Copies of this chain bind each other. A is one copy, B any other.
Amino acid sequence: MSLPTTSDFLPHIAYDSVIFGFSKGKLKILLMEYHDTGWFALPGGFVGKNEDLNHAVQRGLKERTGLENIYLDQFYTFGNLDRHDPEVMKTILAANGYLVKDDFWLLDRFLSIAYYALIDYEKVTLLPDSLSDSIDWYDIDALPDLILDHRKIVDKALQTLRENLDRKLIGGKLLPERFTMKELQQVYEAILGEKIRRSSFQRKILGLEILERHEKLFTGKSHKAPFLYSFKE
């Protein structure tokens, strides 16, 4: 196991990903916890010298989640000077046994291109990277402190996701292929952070004619069974 080297990757350029999942009525994101430090950060990475930017992000997501062809939206590139703090990376590397010189490329200033991803929580197989103890889901309403400006990145991701929700009809990306109307509504509520009126929601979504209605789902509960839906391709 070795550190990424400056000959393989573009200097000064990184990406960070805010990976959203949905489980038990809650919106969650993936965070990495670095060895020893107790520090949390967004999953991120670097761009190969001969690699498309979007490919680098897809590659990183596959390494962490096992998933391919993930829904991704690039939402902002963070390029302020105040996001540069070489001590943070130095400490993370030191905690992993890497003692590097002050001019080591990972200690340089980085611009970060930020993406959010929407994935099916159930399909994920989590795998930490070499510098991390763990990667795990955290409730969006109860995040630990994050390194550098990662909290700002999360906030802007959520803001963008909210703005895009109706426009791009991406709520379903957080659910399995087939889902009930109630589940879809819960996704919307979790993203928007507010309750939605059931009848209005159902009427609006069905009115868009983007859903296919399938068989009913019998859960064994003593009440009317809901239909299952999927998005038309």
Chain A interface residues toward B at CB < 8 A: 10-13, 47, 49-54, 74, 76-81, 109, 111, 113, 163, 167
Pick the residue among B51, B77, B163 that contacts A81 (CB under 8 A). Answer: B51
28 contacts between A and B (CB under 8 A): A10-B12, A10-B109, A10-B111, A11-B11, A11-B12, A12-B12, A12-B13, A13-B13, A47-B79, A47-B111, A49-B109, A50-B81, A51-B81, A52-B79, A52-B80, A52-B81, A53-B78, A53-B79, A53-B80, A53-B111, A54-B79, A54-B80, A74-B76, A74-B77, A77-B77, A79-B113, A111-B113, A163-B167
Copies in the complex: 2
Q: Please, how many angstroms separate the alpha-carbon atoms of A163 and B53 in the complex?
A: 24
Distance in Å: Cβ of A83 to nearest Cβ of chain B:
10
What B residues does A79 contact at CB under 8 A?
A: 47, 52-54, 113
The 9 closest A-B pairs by CB, nearest first: A53-B79, A77-B77, A52-B80, A77-B113, A10-B12, A52-B81, A13-B111, A12-B13, A53-B111
What B residues does A10 contact at CB under 8 A?
A: 12, 109, 111
Q: Please, how many angstroms separate the alpha-carbon atoms of A51 and B167 in the complex?
A: 35
CB pair A77–B53 under 8 Å, yes or no, is: yes
Q: Please, how many angstroms separate the alpha-carbon atoms of A111 and B53 in the complex?
A: 8
What B residues does A163 contact at CB under 8 A?
A: 167
Q: Please, how many angstroms separate the alpha-carbon atoms of A50 and B82 in the complex?
A: 10
Q: Please, how many angstroms separate the alpha-carbon atoms of A80 and B51 in the complex?
A: 8
Q: Please, how many angstroms separate the alpha-carbon atoms of A229 and B49 in the complex?
A: 52
Distance in Å: Cβ of A54 to nearest Cβ of chain B:
7
What B residues does A11 contact at CB under 8 A?
A: 11-12
